Amino acid sequence: MKKSTPNGKNDISITSRLEKISSDVLEVTLSKIGELAQQVDRNEKIIDYGIVAQDIIEIAKKELHNKLKNYVNNDIILLKCKNLECVLTNALHVIFVKQLSILTNLSVSHYKTTIMSEEVPSDFAFLTADSFFFREATNLILPNSSWEFRRERTYLHGILQEISSRIKELTAEKIKDAEQQSNAFQYLQMQQAQIQSIQQQYGGGVGNWNIGAAYRPPDSNVNISVGYQQGKTNIQISMVPDEQAGLLGANGFTAGVGPGNLGISLNLNF
């Protein structure tokens, strides 16, 4: 194994080579992480992201170790690998946070879909959405890391509780409106029943009367009738031959009924 000397050109040359090797390994690995970031930006789920992230780090560390073992001792290699792991962990953590945001949106969508069903209690819908988030978020965590999602989970709980509260308010308003409409309908029915009762007691009440009149000009087939019933007036003009003209004479009804050939009918409800 070649080792660096405390001073001299050889030491500077090896240091430069070490930096170049570390930089190359880091660049290649960051390129792979960039592909994962693009996948997340498309809202695509990375299955078992925690394991994927761990594999990326371990492969990069192993590659760096193999390239450095011919130049420096094991302690320096471990230090370089540790530095590389820190950089990669931070880069992968950014993707972890983005996926938590996606999971939050998915959990909210699941909750809305579930709570809209009248057969599913709101508490059960809450537990279902929370369990989904917890399960999926756990699979995102890098093993043996400090990654956690307590803050995001608390934020999700706040959103779900706000949605539940608003849905309960809307439901209460709908019930209140339905009760008001029902009360109004019952009131109208009661009023109508009272009016009918009064009409029966007092002979049908004022305005409950019908009247009709008919007129036929002499020596013509024209018949004019006017009727009034329940506040409505009806006028009818027709041409009907007088079937009794031959029996009553030339003037038809004028010879058999009152003056002006006018017939009047009156209908009153008592």
Residue 269 has pLDDT above 60, yes or no: no
| Most trustworthy range by pLDDT among 4-18, 176-190, 205-219, 226-240 | 226-240
- Whether 265 shows a pLDDT value over 60: the answer reads no
Residue 260 CA to residue 241 CA, distance in Å, equals: 18
* The pLDDT value given to residue 241: 60
- pLDDT score of 74: 86
Q: Is the pLDDT confidence value at 93 over 90?
A: yes
Binned at pLDDT 50, 70 and 90, residue 203 comes out as low
**Contact of 45 with 102, CB cutoff 8 Å:** yes
Exposed e or buried b per residue across 195-232, where buried means at least 16 C-beta atoms within 10 angstroms of its C-beta: eeeeeeeeeeeeeeeeebebebeeeeeebebebeeeee
Rg (CA), the chain: 48
Specify the pTM.
Answer: 0.59
- Band the pLDDT of 195: cuts 50, 70, 90: low
Segments making up each domain of the chain, as ranges: 9-162, 209-268
Q: Let me know: does 57 contact 88? Beta carbons within 8 Å.
A: yes
Instruction: Choose between 120 and 255: higher pLDDT.
Output: 120
As a whole number, mean pLDDT of residues 230-235 equals: 69
Task: Answer with the residue of higher pLDDT: 270 or 190.
Answer: 190
Q: What is the pLDDT of residue 256?
A: 47
Q: Which of 85, 107, 204, 211 is nearest to 163 (CA)?
A: 107
User: What's the whole-number mean pLDDT along residues 111-122?
Assistant: 77
**HEC per residue, the chain:** CCCCCCCCHHHHHHHHHHHHHHHHHHHHHHHHHHHHHHHHHCCCCCCCHHHHHHHHHHHHHHHHHHHHCCCCCHHHHHHHHHHHHHHHHHHHHHHHHHHHHHHHHHHHHHHHHHHCCCCCCHHHHHHHHHHHHHHHHHCCCCCCCCCCCHHHHHHHHHHHHHHHHHHHHHHHHHHHHHHHHHHHHHHHHHHHHHHHHHHHHCCCCCCCEEEEEEECCCCCCEEEEEEEECCEEEEEEEECCCCCHHHHCCCHHHHCCCHHHEEEEEEECC
pLDDT top residue among 162 and 189: 162
What average pLDDT is seen over the chain?
A: 77
What is the predicted pLDDT for the residue at 13? 78
Q: How far out from the chain centre does Cα 64 lie?
A: 52
pLDDT per residue as tens digits for the range 128-142: 999 999 999 999 999
For the chain, how long is the longest CA-to-CA vector?
Answer: 152
Cα→Cα distances 40→44, 74, 101, Å? 5, 37, 10
pLDDT-derived band at 115 (thresholds 50, 70, 90) equals confident
Of the candidates 244, 240, 207, 243, the residue with the CA atom closest to the CA atom of residue 225: 240
Q: Band of the pLDDT at 238, cuts 50, 70, 90? A: confident
Mean pLDDT of 99-124: 85
What is the pLDDT at residue 185? 61
Q: Give the percent of the chain with pLDDT over 70.
A: 63
